[in-house]
Amino acid sequence: MATMKVHGNVGSTATARVLTCLYEKDLEFEFVHVDLRSGEHTKEPYLSLNPFAQVPAFEDGDLKLFESRAITQYLAHDYANKGTQLICPGRQMAILSVWLEVEAHQFHPPSSKLVSELAVKPMFGMVADTAVVEENEAKLGQVLDVYETRLSQSKYLAGDTYSLADLHHLPNFLYLKGSRSMQLFDSRPHVKAWVDAITSRPAWSKLLALKNQK
């Protein structure tokens, strides 16, 4: 079997999503660094791997994929027998799909906006826009109210076992941890217990170790 390749950047949240999934699935891969500062992702040959000029891109033999959530779903389905089981059979998969979509359409927009304001802007010497931060903290707070109820009924989002739906939330914690916005998570007990559970998994520790090496 050909080695899998991840083309990405360890500072990128979408790259972190794919790497964390590979660690959970206990799959070997080659990491190919893409230099975002020099704009390597906006030029050939990278554009042939991801025409939207974003990281990551992924290769498994002759199969070439992009979009982090499509890559993780491929790994979860096609390597179902390796490492952590991240999906489930039958109708329970429909519930898992609901929470995959909730991450993409409810959680991701405000939380990634907060990452951008509170972590990315300061890296480039810019100041966070307080109005944007407050607006997105209010939106995220409403989303987390729903999560608090859900997580009082089951330990994880799709049920009592860890799944891809939980994993997809991890990347933004790379930058939210330590920020003022963590208070939104810490003040909701079931949400806090869930964040503690998903961020203490060995696969996430491996991702943090890789990021800190670079």
Summarize as ranges the residues that interact with its own copies (CB under 8 A): 51-52, 63, 65-70, 73-74, 77-78, 91, 93-95, 97-98, 100-102, 104-106, 143, 146, 149-150
Q: Which is nearer to its own copies, 19 or 201 (CB)?
A: 19
Least distance between its own copies and beta carbon 146 (Å) = 4
Least distance between its own copies and beta carbon 118 (Å) = 21
Q: Which is nearer to its own copies, 54 or 201 (CB)?
A: 54
Q: Which is nearer to its own copies, 101 or 196 (CB)?
A: 101
Least distance between its own copies and beta carbon 96 (Å) = 9
Q: Which is nearer to its own copies, 142 or 183 (CB)?
A: 142
The residue among 89, 91, 87, 90 whose CA lies nearest residue 75 is 87
Least distance between its own copies and beta carbon 166 (Å) = 16
Q: Which is nearer to its own copies, 49 or 201 (CB)?
A: 49
Least distance between its own copies and beta carbon 116 (Å) = 14
